[in-house]
């Protein structure tokens, strides 16, 4: 973190320091009172279930030098707690991060968004750029109006590259994050069906995602998926230079000769049209969709001055860095568990099923699927399509978990599944019981659903044992 004083925090955040020395140094920032350490600033945010202000006194007792709050705070004894009081703690955190980005950081900033794969792309970019200099990137999916400022504030004077992921809940959200981050390079991985229930159409989603490139300065670089028509069209909305990636012949950074091994890990030839260079790459991630993520990472690195050899070396060495994104593990029982339970939308669900099918190699395959949320009026159609796709891909067993997947089960049945090829169970516990009584060595089990479903419990239950679990590889969508 850049060295700051409480007084500087107050000025940048637009607040007033109370019961604290303005010259006191701030040695870190946290929004979780349990993570408060000596000299840090605790940001008291209001959530749906808890109010961070209620934990401020404990954070101070654990060493926080100051609390960023939306009102003055008193201890249980009636003493004033050390605070910087702002109109809104989240907005104040954003103003502080924007000031640090503008006034104190000299690093190159990368912003990444997309309907699926943005976290995996962020992880790939961070690992590739990490070979070129000190790199800071978001932890997991720190892509909100809280997570993104925290990532900015974790950079310091030595940081050369700052890699930020930008999520979206609606129109104007990415524009806000972009104004905080002011990226030098902005990438759009894809536009899919996530948030259809909120925005109504893929075109509206594209418009909201496109805020990241419309905000670029003319000196910036927009990295766009040339294989996605809605993303490709964003080139007409930005004054920045455009660098495209994809498998199409017109793309600047391109993959050809794509093939998969028995764990569905892609190999391909990576080429750069500007230099004419072409190099072989094999990824340590499972799923053909990872080719697009890798190409996005490659284009971002090239935009920041890396040569193709540096990029290829970085991609070959990159490993999964975020949890529950196609984590592939072999259980002591001999079956393989593919945990992709972090999130789901129609595009990522299709990619995961295709990866499962590619891993079969004569083995029984199980797709344990939960509901895809936020699809609005498209929910019935999309769940029906996923059920049908599982049958067409010849997945051995489809287990549909929860009320929201009844249409998926019906779609599989209508497509031609028979007997118990497709089964609907009411909840996670029922799915666990079914699998524990049915799995055989060498089976491959995919677990995937929207985050709120909590389907990771299935994967964790299948791997529960005192014996060592061997990590095989991983992927994400």
3-state SS class at 39? coil
At residue 471, does pLDDT exceed 80?
no
Q: Kindly state the percentage of the chain with pLDDT values over 90.
A: 81
Here the CATH number for the domain that contains residue 411 is 3.90.190.20
Binned at pLDDT 50, 70 and 90, residue 31 comes out as very high
Length of the chain: 477
Which domain covers residue 203, as residue numbers? 105-317
Domain assignment of residue 79, yes or no: yes
Residues 56 and 75 in one domain: yes
Domain assignment of residue 97, yes or no: no
Q: What pLDDT sits at residue 474?
A: 40
Give the CB-side neighbour count of residue 54, counting CA atoms within 13 A: 5
Domain assignment of residue 461, yes or no: yes
Quick: pLDDT tens for 270-326: 999 999 999 999 999 998 999 999 999 999 999 999 999 999 999 999 988 777 677
Residues 183 and 121 in one domain: yes
Q: What pLDDT sits at residue 306?
A: 96
- Name the E strands within 153-220: 161-165, 185-188
Domain assignment of residue 99, yes or no: no
Q: Write phi, then psi, for 351 (nearest 5 degrees).
A: -60, -40
Residues 343 and 424 in one domain: yes
CA distance 362 to 116: 29
Mean pLDDT is lowest, of 47-56, 160-169, 193-202, 242-251, for 193-202
Residues 128 and 79 in one domain: no
Binned at pLDDT 50, 70 and 90, residue 9 comes out as very high
At residue 470, does pLDDT exceed 50?
no
Q: Kindly state the percentage of the chain with pLDDT values over 70.
A: 97
Mean pLDDT is lowest, of 94-108, 116-130, 134-148, 321-335, for 321-335
Note whether 425 and 401 are within 8 A (CB): yes
Residues 226 and 285 in one domain: yes
Domain assignment of residue 249, yes or no: yes
Here the CATH number for the domain that contains residue 27 is 3.40.1390.10
Residues 194 and 301 in one domain: yes
Binned at pLDDT 50, 70 and 90, residue 472 comes out as very low
Q: Write phi, then psi, for 421 (nearest 5 degrees).
A: -60, -40
Domain assignment of residue 143, yes or no: yes
Binned at pLDDT 50, 70 and 90, residue 465 comes out as low
Residues 425 and 380 in one domain: yes
Quick: pLDDT tens for 371-384: 998 898 899 999 99
Here the CATH number for the domain that contains residue 146 is 3.40.1190.10
Q: What pLDDT sits at residue 193?
A: 77
Residues 42 and 159 in one domain: no
Q: How many domains does the chain have?
A: 3
Domain assignment of residue 467, yes or no: yes
Residues 241 and 295 in one domain: yes
Average pLDDT, the chain: 92
- Structure-token pair, residue 212: 């990241």
Residues 331 and 311 in one domain: no
Alpha carbon 69 to its chain's center: 28
At residue 476, does pLDDT exceed 90?
no
- The residues that bridge with 25 in the sheet, in sequence order, are 5
Alpha carbon 13 to its chain's center: 27
Residues 77 and 156 in one domain: no
At residue 475, does pLDDT exceed 80?
no
Domain assignment of residue 100, yes or no: no
3-state SS class at 422? strand
At residue 469, does pLDDT exceed 80?
no
Q: What pLDDT sits at residue 324?
A: 67
Residues 299 and 170 in one domain: yes
Last residue of a domain, one of 87, 114, 144: 87
Quick: pLDDT tens for 73-90: 999 999 999 999 999 999
């Amino acid at each position: 973190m850049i060295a700051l004083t409480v007084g500087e925090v107050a000025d940048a955040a637009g607040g007033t320091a109370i019961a604290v020395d303005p010259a006191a140094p701030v040695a870190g920032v946290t929004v979780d009172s349990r993570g408060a350490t000596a000299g840090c600033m605790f940001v008291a945010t209001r959530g749906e279930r808890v109010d961070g202000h209620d934990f401020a006194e404990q954070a101070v007792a654990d060493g926080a030098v100051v609390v960023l709050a939306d009102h003055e705070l008193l201890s249980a004894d009636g003493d004033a707690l050390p605070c910087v009081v702002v109109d809104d703690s989240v907005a104040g955190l954003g103003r502080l991060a924007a000031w640090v980005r503008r006034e104190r950081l000299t690093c190159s900033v990368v912003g990444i968004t997309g309907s699926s794969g943005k976290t995996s792309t962020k992880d790939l970019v961070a690992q590739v750029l990490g070979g070129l200099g000190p790199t800071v990137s978001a932890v997991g999916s720190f892509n909100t109006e809280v997570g993104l400022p925290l990532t900015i504030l974790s950079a310091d004077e030595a940081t050369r590259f700052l890699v930020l992921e930008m999520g979206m809940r609606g129109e104007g959200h990415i524009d806000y994050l972009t104004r905080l981050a002011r990226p030098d390079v902005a990438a759009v991985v894809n536009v899919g069906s996530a948030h259809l229930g909120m925005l109504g159409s893929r075109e509206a989603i594209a418009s909201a995602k496109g805020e990241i490139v419309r905000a670029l300065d003319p000196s910036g670089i927009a990295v766009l998926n040339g294989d996605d028509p809605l993303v490709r069209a964003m080139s007409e909305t930005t004054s920045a230079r455009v660098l495209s990636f994809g498998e199409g012949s017109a793309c600047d950074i391109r993959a050809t000769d794509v093939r998969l091994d028995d764990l569905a890990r892609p190999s391909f030839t990576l080429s750069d049209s500007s230099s004419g260079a072409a190099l072989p790459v094999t990824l340590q991630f499972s799923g053909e969709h990872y080719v697009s993520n890798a190409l996005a990472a490659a284009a971002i690195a090239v935009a920041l001055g890396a040569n193709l050899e540096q990029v290829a070396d970085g991609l070959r060495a990159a490993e999964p860095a975020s949890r529950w994104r196609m984590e592939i593990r072999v259980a002591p029982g001999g079956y393989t568990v593919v945990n992709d339970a972090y999130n789901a939308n129609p595009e990522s669900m299709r990619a995961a099923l295709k990866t499962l099918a590619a891993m079969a190699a004569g083995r029984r395959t199980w797709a344990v699927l939960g509901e895809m949320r936020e699809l609005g009026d498209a929910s019935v159609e999309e769940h029906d399509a996923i059920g049908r796709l599982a049958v067409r891909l010849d997945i051995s067993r489809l287990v549909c978990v929860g009320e929201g997947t009844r249409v998926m089960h019906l779609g599989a049945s209508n497509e031609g599944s028979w007997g118990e090829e497709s089964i609907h169970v009411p909840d996670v516990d029922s799915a666990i019981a079914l699998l524990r009584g049915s799995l055989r060595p060498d089976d491959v089990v995919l677990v995937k659903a929207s985050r709120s479903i909590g389907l990771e419990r299935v994967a964790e239950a299948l791997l529960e044992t005192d014996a060592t679990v061997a990590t095989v590889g991983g992927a994400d969508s």
